[in-house]
Every structure is written in structure tokens, then in C-alpha cells.
A and B are shown apart, each in its own frame.
Chain A
């Protein structure tokens, strides 16, 4: 029971002279407004020299059908390749003093436009042009497909990404569990007409939302309205991914990949943002990330860590994963320790000093992960859509600050007692593995 002893030692240490709680941190207060039915959040920072605009549209993984997995990413990639004023949109934005990127998650595809503050309205007009007349020609789709295939191969050699993907495929039913960029087989199934159909069906203005951060110039409001107007009319029905009920006996999934070392991903169901358990989930994420990790003076990167945890709230319902780097620790020992911790957390409330310590660590991690304009725009839009009110990021931080020991115990009891184990092994495992 080495891990249980380590855990006890860690908890014991936590009782020593905790620093005073400084109260919840605060981002600049956000505002929200509507253009038609589209909600726009803004977090202004007049001292910034750039502005960022995150555009969320409904075309996420969850809207795909399994036979055309990857169509969400193909649609977004084609939009960036759409000719505007004679050059691809991505290049036109770069030449105009900005950048444009996209991310596909379960609920949405979100485009992030950033630029010199005074130029963002003009850059947004270029994006609106592409949204109004996207290029889904076979040539554009073929070029986008080639790029996604290459990126997908990179993901396959990343053991942690593979393990997370395995858990998600097992937990989420249907399209929500599909690989973000599709697979070689599914991408080859996607025709140009599928991409056009996906766009028409899912990029509906009534289900879009925007978030703006940084130095927001007055002209941006008009540009945002034009962006929304460029999207097809209509509203999507709400999307909630169907999930598999996790059985009491933990399912185990095993895959072999070209990875350097084994990795284990343990996946749990998790509370959605906006729910009463949200703050407690952040505490649990922090606790699972830190309680088992070896002491290191400098912060450890992903590849250096023995274990870690991520709370994913890009899908409804959300999930939480705990991973073990088999290159650094014995996975079976770590998982045994995890089970002991999960049971202990469900049985008794955390001591006040322990709770304070992990809340502080959770808040620090959240803030450290939310410093770029892109990250700030993402959490602003995501929490805005999750029902955190008009000032959603500060409301989320306040929810963390309010989380009590009883909340953490309840969340541990509700979410951490059943799990799915995904094991990624190197193709040629060393003897004894």
C-alpha cells in the first residue's frame, strides 16, 4: 500500500501552516449583449494592443454521423482555405495583420480571430465573406483532407492523446466519441457534398455565439453583426451526447501503438459547468493531479509528469481523466492508489486546510491556463454558454471559491466511483510488461 501511505503523508503535510486564503481572483468584468438571438460576450482590456474574437458555431463532433467522421474538421479547414480577395482566407488574414485558427470539440467548432486591435473589424469582414460563400469544391476538400490525415497520424503517435480518445470512444455513444480529425477511413468517405451539407445544417446563426477580448474598438460591434448575418439562418436543437453507463466492474480497453512507453488513462463521468458540482470538480482535478506527483522544484511538463488529471467540459456531459505515465511509475500501483483516494474522498469530507490548499492550487492552475487572449476568449464563450451569467469567468471562479468539503465529498461519491481504463502499449512491449 505504498501509494496509500504516500497519500496519507501528503494529506498530513497539508495541515502545516496553510497560507491565508486571498479570496477569489477576478478577471476584468465581462459584458454581454444579443445580436438577434446570438449572444456576444466581451471582456475589454484597453491596455492590450491586440483583440481576439472567438466564434462558436454548432458544427462540432456531436453533429457528425459516424460514417463521415472528420467532416466537422474538414468543413472548418475548407473555410480557412476559401478564397477571399484572390487569396485563401488564412493568408488574407495574415496579410492584414492577424491570424485565424479553428478547434473542433464535441459541442462546437470555434474559430479564433486575432489581430492588431484597430484591424480586427476589417479582418472579421474577411471571415464574414468566407462564411457567406465558403469553398467546398472537391479540390479544396482534397487539400484539407490531406492536411488532416497528416495531423491525425501525429495524434496516433501520442500515447496520452490516444488513451483519451479511447476513453471517449468508449464513454460517448455515437459521433461525440469520434476522433477529432476523423480517421483515414472515415475521411476518405467524406465527399465535397457532405461538407457543404454539414455546413448548411450546422453553422446556424441562431446557435452561434461570440466572445471578444483584449482591446475592443467600437467598430467591432458592427463587424460582429456582419459575421452573424453571414451564417445560414436557423437554430439547432440542443445537443446532449449519449453516454454509456459505466459498470461497477471497470471496463478495460487495450491498444498498441507506436509509442515509447505505456500510458494508462482512467476516465470518469464529470459534472457539467454551471452545475452545483462544478467547483468541486475543479478541486478534484487539482487533487488528483497533485496528490501522487513526485516533488519537483520546477514545474513538470506533460512528458515529465508521472500522473495527471484533466477535466474536460467541451462535451455535455463532461468527463474527467486521470493518466499514468508508465515510463515513470508502475501503472497498477498508481491506479490502486487512485482507487483508495476516490473511496476515501467519498467516505469523509476533506479537512479545511486540505480543501483550502487544493482550491488555491485549482485556482492557480485555472488562471495559469487562461492568460492568452485565445484562452480567455474560449473560457468566456464556453462558460457564457454554460449558464454562468453575464460575467461568466468570474462566476466560475466564484463557484470554485464556494466549493465546500461536503460538495467535494458529494462529487467524489457521484463521479469517482466508476471508471473506464484505457491502456496504450507500445507495439513491441518490453518483456514483463
Chain B
């Protein structure tokens, strides 16, 4: 390794989130109803028993760069590796995809710039078998030729379909502008051509290094007992597993104001992105979540409601993407009358720099708390929530942790109109990354 490479690696390891450190004994407290433990060979387990439908969400989360560990980025390597491992039949027992399908469940794999999620929703009676199989497959990955080929076919199809999704295109473009290097700069799913160029050896090397118990967070949520973690396979001992994974290349923020990205697309659409606070800054992160909810929540958000009346065909989404450091504010919009839609989005954002009136703020905060809980009512939503916040390094801040008495809701309760406006000023006053899609794109000035 070159001196420069070693320096980069050291810097990144110093900045790595603390979720994996939990494997060393630092177990976070996620409230009285949630059990947190350590897996046999390292790694964290989180079990959230629920009432309701007799189902269980079983998820494995890994922190690893979507572009691989090599210095040369390989977009979609993480996605393809996860699919290939799930598609390969293990030495003993059924493949993960076969088992989940057999019991009428659903299996999904999602990849983000610096993390990977494998998620199954199954009848609760089958949860122990699925935990066993998922951990067997992903703690000691086996890659078969057939599994690799099937995965390549499926991920290429998925990537081809995503080229029709304006939200994905805008998000990828905005991230590519905000970050000049590192996994965040590249589309996590990659394109069909990039996927086709990845070799089985590349995929095997990545899987061996990323998919191991010591690097995992296992989350089970649903009508299950905390003892379900006993069904997890131990996986490879720490000394046999690959060394701690490190991100391959430094994450770099763009230094100059980003140039607008223009892409051809059937429908007119646009997107904005701003750099936000790290996950550790809970109050600011929550304030940006509040702003996104207040303006853009479907049906009830101020901008959504306005567009519902003026441009019923319009689509708008806004969110603060809570990441280890930094987070990102992302807004996407589309509609036939794109100028009118963009104007409504701009008006809404501009209004957040002024404190809301006390009564309006109180109603908006109550609605915000309800909307959070509305989005945390199913086993999959809760498992996603625990997995995401754990892998980004602040599991105790997960909105599902501790319910309305947990850290997240305390941060929400602490918000004031003035603090929200100040947070908007701090993060949303700089020129955003801008992306525009349309059939006849014309260059436009930066916002």
C-alpha cells in the first residue's frame, strides 16, 4: 500500500461509524421492548418483538462501499455481490431466495452508497428457518457459477428498469454533484453495462470481505421472541474472516458550487440536494426531517397540498437522508407544468427560513410525530429503521428506539420555530446541487 493509501485508510477507519464497535461489547440501549445482543462470532443483533400480523422481518445490514474496496470504483459491485450470494445454493440446505419464496415471503436487497441491506418478510412461524438460512448464506458466503449468472441477469434487469425512475436518476445525479469522490459519487446500483463488466472473481472477493458476522447487524422485528437470535449461524470466526472492511477511497465533498446536471427523460422533472448535518447532530438532523415532512409529506405537506390543487398530476418528494457524516437534503419534483411545480417547491423552501407561528408549528410538530409513527408501524419499516441507524452509527437515535420516549422523539420535542428556521438558514442557504430531467433539456442557470 502506498503512503497515500495508508493515510486515506487510517483517516477513514478513524471516521468509521460506531455500529460495528457494538460487536466489541458496546451494546446500545434501544428501549425496554428491544433486545440488543452480540452474535456468536461478532456483530450485533437487534430483536424488536411486536404484536399484530403474525409475520417477521429479518434483515442483515452491512457497512461496505457500494463501489467495492479497490481504489478503482466499481459501481454496483456491492449490489451484484449480495444478489449473487443470495442466488447461490449453499453447501447444505436451501438457497435463501428459494426458501423465502417457498413460504410466501418477500426477499429484497437494497444498496446504498456505504451500506447493504438484505431483507425478508416471512410468516412468523418460518422466521427461525429464515434467520438460520440467511445467516448461513451471508456469514460464510458461497458463490456458484449459476448463482453469479442468475444474479447478473436479475441486477441488469433491475438497473434497466431503474433508468425509467426519475427519482432514482435525480438522486444519483444530485449525489454525484455533492460528492466529488467516494461511493456517494457513484450510483449504488450502477448501469447495465457496468454490471455486465463485473467478474465473478471481483464479486467473490467483495463478498468474502464484506459479508461476515463481525461486520453485520442482524435485525428481527415482528411476532417473534428475543431468543430467535439463537437460530443464527455462527459464521466464520473473526480470525478466519477477512480483516475489517474499509472504504476504498476518500469521501470528498465538492468544493465549488455544483453545476446543474441535465439529462434527457420522457417527463420534465427536477431535483435539489444540500449537504446536511451528520447523524450525531441529532437536533439539527431532526429539524431537517421536520422541514421535509412539513413541506413534502404526501397529501398533507404544505407544498404537496398546494400542488394537489394547482397541479394534480405533479409528484414531489423531499427528505433528509440521515447519514453518518454528512447527511443530505434531497428534493425531487415532476409534473407537466414543471415551472409551476418548481416554483411551488422553491416557495415552500424559502418559507422555512422564517420561524413558523407558534400555533402552526405546534400542529406541524404533532403531525410530524404522527407521520413518523405511521411510517414505523410494520415489521419491515421498524427493521429498516433499526438497521439504518445502527449501520450509520447512531442506533439509539433510531425513531423506533424507545418509542415516543426515545432519543429521536426527545429531539423532536426540543424543536422550536426559531431553531428550525436557523437550521434551514444554516444548511439550505447555500446553492444546492441541481439536476434537471426533460425531453428537451435546455441549460439553465444554477439556482
Residues of A bordering B, CB below 8 Å: 19, 22-23, 25-28, 45-50, 90-91, 94-99, 101, 114-116, 143, 146-147, 149-151, 153-154, 286, 290, 295-299, 303-304, 357, 360-368, 370-373, 376
Q: Which A-chain residue is minimally distant from B222 (CB atoms)?
A: A371
Instruction: State whether the Cβ of B370 lies closer than 8 Å to any Cβ in chain A.
Output: yes
Instruction: State whether the Cβ of B51 lies closer than 8 Å to any Cβ in chain A.
Output: yes
- 28 intermolecular pairs with C-beta atoms under 8 Å apart: A25-B123, A26-B54, A27-B53, A48-B51, A50-B377, A94-B299, A94-B300, A95-B367, A97-B366, A97-B367, A97-B369, A99-B374, A115-B370, A147-B308, A147-B312, A149-B312, A296-B97, A297-B86, A298-B83, A298-B154, A299-B107, A360-B104, A364-B123, A367-B53, A368-B105, A368-B121, A370-B53, A371-B55
Residues of B bordering A, CB below 8 Å: 33, 50-55, 83, 86-87, 95-97, 100-109, 121-126, 129, 150-151, 154, 157-158, 161, 299-300, 305, 308-309, 312-313, 363, 366-367, 369-370, 373-374, 377-380, 403-404
Query: Which one of B107, B151, B313, B373 has the highest number of Cβ atoms from chain A below 10 Å of its Cβ?
Result: B373
The CA-CA distance from A412 to B26 in the complex, in Å, is 58
Contact call A47/B106, Cβ cutoff below 8 A: no
Tell me, rounded to whole Å, the shortest Cβ–Cβ distance linking B258 to chain A: 32
Contact call A46/B51, Cβ cutoff below 8 A: yes
Q: Which B-chain residue is minimally distant from A357 (CB atoms)?
A: B102
- Chain B residue numbers with a CB within 8 Å of A91 are 300, 305
The CA-CA distance from A244 to B161 in the complex, in Å, is 38
A99 and B125 in contact, given A26-B54, A49-B373, A360-B103 (Cβ under 8 angstroms): no
Beyond A297-B97, A361-B102, 14 additional contacts (C-beta under 8 Å) are A19-B102, A19-B103, A47-B51, A91-B300, A116-B366, A116-B369, A147-B312, A150-B312, A290-B101, A298-B86, A298-B107, A360-B104, A364-B104, A368-B121
- Chain B residue numbers with a CB within 8 Å of A96 are 363, 366
Q: Which 7 A-B pairs rank lowest in CB-CB distance, beginning with the nearest?
A: A364-B104, A150-B312, A297-B97, A22-B125, A95-B363, A361-B104, A45-B51
A49 and B105 in contact, given A371-B53, A372-B377 (Cβ under 8 angstroms): no
Contact call B104/A367, Cβ cutoff below 8 A: yes
Tell me, rounded to whole Å, the shortest Cβ–Cβ distance linking B245 to chain A: 23
- Chain A residue numbers with a CB within 8 Å of B403 are 49
- Chain A residue numbers with a CB within 8 Å of B123 are 22, 25, 363-364, 367
Contact call B366/A299, Cβ cutoff below 8 A: no
Q: Which B-chain residue is minimally distant from A215 (CB atoms)?
A: B51
- Chain B residue numbers with a CB within 8 Å of A25 are 54, 123-125
The CA-CA distance from A298 to B309 in the complex, in Å, is 38
Tell me, rounded to whole Å, the shortest Cβ–Cβ distance linking B423 to chain A: 22
Contact call A373/B104, Cβ cutoff below 8 A: no
The CA-CA distance from A28 to B124 in the complex, in Å, is 13
